[in-house]
Structures are given as C-alpha cells and as structure tokens.
Amino acid sequence: MTTPVKKRTRVPVHGVLLLDKPVGLSSNDALIKAKRLFNAQKAGHTGTLDPFATGLLPLCFGEATKFSQDLLEADKTYQTVVHLGLTTTTGDTEGEVTENKPVTVTVADIQAVLEQFKGDIQQVPPMYSALKRDGKPLYEYARAGVTLEREARAVTIHMLELVSYDAPFLTLNVRCSKGTYIRVLGEDIGNALGCGAHLQALRRTQVGHLILSESITLDALNELAEEQRYPLLAPVDALLSSFPEIRLDEILAKRFLQGQRLALSKESVALPEKPGRVRVYRESDGQLLGSAQLQEYGILAPERLIATAQMS
C-alpha cells in the first residue's frame, strides 16, 4: 500500500513579485507556478499578458492583492514587432493567415501613419479577447466562428515611436492607457499603410512605475532555494509608491484601522497639498496601514486596510 503524499501547508506571503513571463504561458499558468514556488496561500496577477507575449507581469501575494486594481488602471509600456503584409485571424502569431499583401511602404509613410495613432483614439476590441458578452468570453465565440458587433472604446496612446524598420518588420515602442490592445493597434497601423499586419512579438517593459529590468524569470526563481525567494518580493507599498504618504500616531493609527474617518486638519499631521489618494503609515514603526482618500478640509477616509497591521 502506497503512502499518500502529504500536501504542503500554504503559508501567508505578502509582497509583489515582478515576473518576466515567458512566451507560450498564460498569465494564470505563470501565477500558479509562482504561487507554488512561494508556497503562498493567496496570490493574483495584475492584468493578463497573451500567451504569445512576454515581459513584465507583476504578481501580488497576500495583502498586496488588495491593491492589484491600481496596476490594472496604470499605463503600460511595450516593445512590439509588427509584421506588415500578413493578416491573421487573431492579430498575432497564434492565428491563421487570412491575407498576404506586398509591402512597399517607406519610413516616411510609417512615420506619417504613426502620427494618426498618437493621443486619444478609438479602438474596437478584438474578437480574440477575454471581454465577455452574455457571460461568455469573446474568444469562445470567435473559436466557434461567430463574430459579434463590438463598440469602439476610447484609449490613449501616450507614446508611439519607431525603433526600426527592416521590411516587412516594424519595431515600435508604445506607452498606452489601460484597455489598449496592442494587437489591434498593430492591425490598424497595417490597414492605414494599406498592407495589413499582425503582431510578430510583444514584450511588456513597464507597468505604472514598475520596470522589467527588476524582474525575474520562472526558471531563475525555480533554481533558488525557497528561503532565497522571499527577499525578491517587493513590499506591499511598492504598488502605492506613486501616491503621497501620511503618517499617523498610535491613537490615530488605531482609529484608522477601525475604519474611522479622521479629521486631520485638527491634528499635528503633515498633509499633502492636494486632496486625492494617499498611502497611510504608522509613524512609530513605519508599518503600512492601507490606502485612503484625503478629502477636503483634511478628512481622511480609509479605503483598503492592511489586516496584518492590526497585529503590530
């Protein structure tokens, strides 16, 4: 009789891992592998990367999952290779070729077209996407051969620069708002050039203020002993570093952690000049307490609280 394998007990892990996702792996699969390597109880990612795409995928563990929405809302930066002349069913290398046109465009043609896509633009989401219609992802309809009408959505292209052009391959750097589909951008650029296009490669290099150069691959993570992995996690407040900070004394910190709104204009607390989102710390030990909205007249309204701060 074989002895059953005893499952490892998951442990509470808190922080942010900057993962360099490999090609061919879904964001969820990458998350599962990383969660297993950290033996973590709770984890989540901050917006998907297509399986064919690589690059920065921030993963949140434990208390950091409360703030993952901030990265979903953040601007993102990519480097992409657009294959001009070839159109595919999915807009990338995973689809079947639907059209093949000659490519005769010049660098001047490309630069002129790129100008059309800078700033606020309208973009129609692709059928091969996770957007849902009647509770079902669009890609399921697409795989069944069904094409549905989709409304164009407003997105912003903050930066669109030509890195190189070696016909038929066009390399671009793009910084864009949330909700932007780089596959669609590549297709639209190809259509504007009159030859069609699909994405040959896509690599995400930045999410908000988090950068790819500080990330680690799954292979490198796997080679480390478990105790060597934990120091690689950025602290929970790495997701909030773009927001001003407020520090509270013991009494105010306790009230804040109880969810109370605080009238800080009556207290000796240094406040940011303008109302808005802030990160809140306990002054005595520097413990992050959570995020809040600083409202008019110095009113601090708790938003998301750190459960582990209660124990300090």
Cα end-to-end span (Å), the chain: 48
> In terms of C-beta density within 10 A (0-12 exposed, 13-18 middle, 19 or more buried), how is residue 42 classed?
middle
User: Under a CB-based contact definition with an 8 Å cutoff, are residues 184 and 124 in contact?
Assistant: yes
User: Under a CB-based contact definition with an 8 Å cutoff, are residues 193 and 105 in contact?
Assistant: yes
**Phi-psi domain of 161 (left: phi exceeds 0; alpha: psi -120 through 50; beta: other):** beta
* Helix-strand-coil split of the chain, %, nearest 5: 30, 35, 35
Helix (H) or strand (E) holding 250: helix 250-257
Active site residue 166: no
Exactly one of 20, 50, 70, 237 is catalytic; name it. 50
d(CA 178, CA 189): 19
Token pair 């891992």 in the structure block, residue: 17
Question: Catalytic residues, which ones?
Answer: 50
